[in-house]
Amino acid sequence: MYPVRTPSIIRTLAPYAVWSMKVHEKIAYLTFDDGPTPGITERALDILGEHGARATFFCLGKNVQAHPHLFRRIVDEGHHVGHHSWSHADGWKQDHFAYIREVLRGAYPVGTNLYRPPYGRITPRQAQSICHRYKLIMWDIISGDFDIHLTPETCTSNVMRHIRPGSIIVFHDSIKAAPRMLGSLPEVLQQAQKKGFRFEPIPYT
Ligand SMILES: [Zn+2]
């Protein structure tokens, strides 16, 4: 199980990470993890473009290396990019230095200072080793698009029930999540924009 909205105790215990943005306007931050994925990232980009929304893509290093044109398109369309390790390293399972190597290797082809730990799993020691170079970006809302037992409608309501100014929302541009992400994303954009939200990328600085 996973909480759709990150409990405040977790946010308090991990103060080195960013869980939501401090804004005074109705701005929210869509994020897409695990891509770029051919056939899926393009469709997410098309939907974002149709709604005039910009987002942040947390890419796996190996996928950026395999699909450089897709990565370029993300950047060219005004979205921001962050890294997500080379091949989805689990910070709770890997030895300290192996994990740090995975992070650095994944950061290289992306070339920015935004990092999201895969599964949100990172130990305080790992965080301490990398937080002087990278901003650790977590989230306050999980759409649940990776959960094959959910419908796109449930993913939409997961987001819409919890969205607030500064929210960081997790989607995935992966094969597994695509049926729910592609079904839910247009609805989230439409409903949130109707409520006066606009979507911006997470700032690099
Ligand atoms: Zn991931």
Q: At what angle do helices 41-50 and 178-194 cross, to 10 degrees?
A: 10
Distance 88 CA to ligand 1 centre (A): 6
pLDDT tens for each residue of 11-36: 666 677 999 999 999 999 999 999 99
pLDDT tens for each residue of 60-99: 999 999 999 999 999 999 999 999 999 999 999 999 999 9
95 noted as active-site residue = no
Distance 118 CA to ligand 1 centre (A): 4
By the 10 Å C-beta count (0-12 exposed, 13-18 middle, 19+ buried), 23 is classed as middle
pTM for the full predicted model: 0.95
- CA-CA distances (angstroms) from residue 21 to 29, 138, 165, 168, 169? 8, 10, 8, 7, 11
Phi, psi of 5, rounded to the nearest 5 degrees? -105, 130
CA dist., res. 114 & res. 21, Å (int): 14
* DSSP, res 192: H
Distance 190 CA to ligand 1 centre (A): 25
* The pLDDT of residue 13: 64
CATH architecture of the domain 8-199 equals Alpha-Beta Barrel (3.20)
CA dist., res. 139 & res. 170, Å (int): 7
Q: Which two tokens stand for residue 131?
A: 């937080």
34 noted as active-site residue = no
Alpha-carbon 33 to chain mean position: 5
